[in-house]
Amino acid sequence: MNLLAIVRGIWEKARGRTAVRPYRWIDHLVVLVTVGILGYVFTPAEAQGDCGIVNSINFPVSRHQFKVVQDFGAPSVRYQGRYHTGEDFFGGRGTSYGQPVSAIADGRVTYSAPSGWGRDGGVLIIQHTFPDGSVYYSMYGHMESSDAHPFPQRFACVRAGDVVGTVGDVRPAPHLHLEIRSNNPDTPGAGYSIDSPTEIGDLQPTKFILDWQTWLSPAHKWHLQLPNDQRPTAHPLVLNDGSMLILTSDRIRFSSVDGRVLWRIILPQPAVALTGYQGYPIVIYADGSVQIINMDASLGEHWLTHTQLEGAPLVVGDLLVFHTPDNALVAIAADRHSAAWRLENIPSFVQSAVSPNVIGLLTEDNQLISVSAQGQIINTTQLPEVPFMTAAQDGNLWVYSQNTLSEIDASGTWTKLIENLNGESASSAYLMTGDGSRYFLAGGASPILTAIDTQGGMQWQVSLPEVSGQAQLMTQDKALILLTTNGDLITFQASTGMMCSQLHIYGDRRSRLWSSMGGDGVLRLGLADQILGLDWKAFVGNCG
């Protein structure tokens, strides 16, 4: 039965037509108009289903050649301070023009105009439907349509990687303007907005693509993304069943084991920490007060420690060590009611590392203050650069700076362990496992990961040209895990250095690294504004 017959039947029932009453010409006209309206309304939606569900996503141009030269949300002097609604990708002087532009994912074209921006080139918009049912639009600006690479027609299906045009010859230099939208499927827009782009439904393209590359991975189980690019104030508190409490400055979220937020508590004041106390989760506020969190989404007993606090705590045994607004270091005791010790004249620090014997604090001017677990300064050293710091197997502190790995013990004594290493200290990492094997990531322009056996000999070496950011090395089930603040997540076979799996999650300079392997086989990772749950067996593959 066709649409005309269906609508005619509905119309007849609505009018109560009988055998006595004839079907008049006005009835036929109403049916035809109704069919036209329904066809206009429903055809694009039905057609989008024919174009498939996104199962892969990538950048429209090569990231090896093209770099972002104007960020998402950046204000523009040329446009009276308006905010950039996308990202501009530039491939280099004299090389960008005419380069092919590909569809980022499967979808349906909703706008196609080779002169959509006039002298600033053509515009194409593609609608994409994702596995979770969400719909987004990728918009490509400053393009040209050519005989070799013509613009696809409106409502045409395109596949991920299909060439949909080329970079046009536009001002101030040929480049691609890429937007990700949650609305406006058929208007080119201006490329700039008086309002913040996120307020009008635009998303950061690089972040969107990298996130969805990870979420479409077979190892992905769930993700929890905080709104408006919020970052957790402290590391999440993982409960025994794998559920989590996540703290931002103004609220606590409780998530299920699969990352769904089940409830929220809006806090009465800013908070700095989440931790456990006598079997209960507690929140610690910036004014030093403490309150029990009830699992029915209410706040319970409340008490004072009479100490102002700032920043997330350092966990030193059963102590929580905080910096204070008046430049002191305070350790909240295990009873969470009192201070175990207080150390005056400690400036704010930008990096820290904790071992059983030594707390390392790096100030903004690269001064490394070493504090004992009992709250005494044991050493102060001025470093020429940002170091890498981590806890050593023997309870001391390792510091890597100026191509030298040193150890600081409980007395504050520095001992050089390995000299003449090669690697930028801020992006390097060092790990020693329980059996004495060592792994060293030499960061910089050409990062290299090296494994050293228990006798001190080099076991293997792997070049990692695209890895960057502050790094963390971990081991799990005979696999070596590398995680960086720029979003690199790689597993290696610890015995051979074979790379087994790799993801690139969105990260940035503000990111803090957090990871936790649960008894449920899920690797939980915290980076930027999201917490990610990966099926460890699926992700590690043959490394495990």
pLDDT value at residue 49 = 53
Cα–Cα distances (Å) from 489 to 241, 316, 468, in that order, read 25, 27, 11
Same domain, 79 and 131: yes
pLDDT, tens digit (0-9, with 9 covering 90-100), for 363-420 = 999 999 999 999 999 999 999 999 999 999 899 999 999 999 999 999 999 999 999 9
Q: How confident is the model over 101-117, as pLDDT tens digits?
A: 999 999 999 999 999 99
Cα separation, 54 vs 59, whole angstroms? 14
Q: What is the pLDDT of residues 46-82, one digit of tens each?
A: 444 589 999 999 999 999 999 999 999 999 988 899 9
Q: Which of 421, 437, 466 is the last residue of a domain?
A: 421
Residue 178's CB is within 10 A of a number of other CB atoms, namely 26
CATH of the domain at 190: 2.70.70.10
- Whether 217 is covered by a domain: the verdict is no
Total domain count, the chain: 5
Shared domain check, 122 and 37? no
Whole-prediction pTM value?
0.86
The answer to whether residues 508 and 230 touch, using CB atoms and an 8 Å cutoff, is: no
Q: Give me the DSSP letters along 417-460.
A: EE-S--S-GGG-EEEE-TTS-EEEEE-SSS-EEEEE-TTS-EEE
62 in any annotated domain = no
Lowest mean pLDDT among 24-33, 124-133, 204-213, 267-276: 24-33
Of 406, 421, 436, the position where a domain reaches its end is 421
Distance (Å, rounded) from C-alpha 468 to C-alpha 476?
A: 22
As given in the structure block, the two tokens for residue 209 are 């693509």
Same domain for 203 and 75, yes or no, is yes
Q: Is residue 488 part of a domain?
A: yes
pLDDT classification of 466: cutoffs 50, 70, 90: confident
- Distance, CA of 479 to CA of 418 (rounded, Å): 25
**Residues 381 and 457 grouped into a single domain:** no
Asked whether residue 200 is assigned to any structural domain, the reply reads yes
Structural domain contains residue 61 = no
- End residue of a domain, out of 404, 421, 438: 421
For residue 286, the domain's CATH number is 2.40.128.630
Segment 467-489 mean pLDDT: 94
Q: Which residues constitute the domain of residue 518?
A: 423-544
Residues 431 and 415 grouped into a single domain: no
Asked if residue 110 belongs to a domain, the reply is yes
Residues 85 and 181 in one domain: yes
Residue 413: name the closest of 387, 379, 384 by CA. 379
Q: Are residues 41 and 82 in the same domain?
A: no
Kindly state the percentage of the chain with pLDDT values over 90. 83
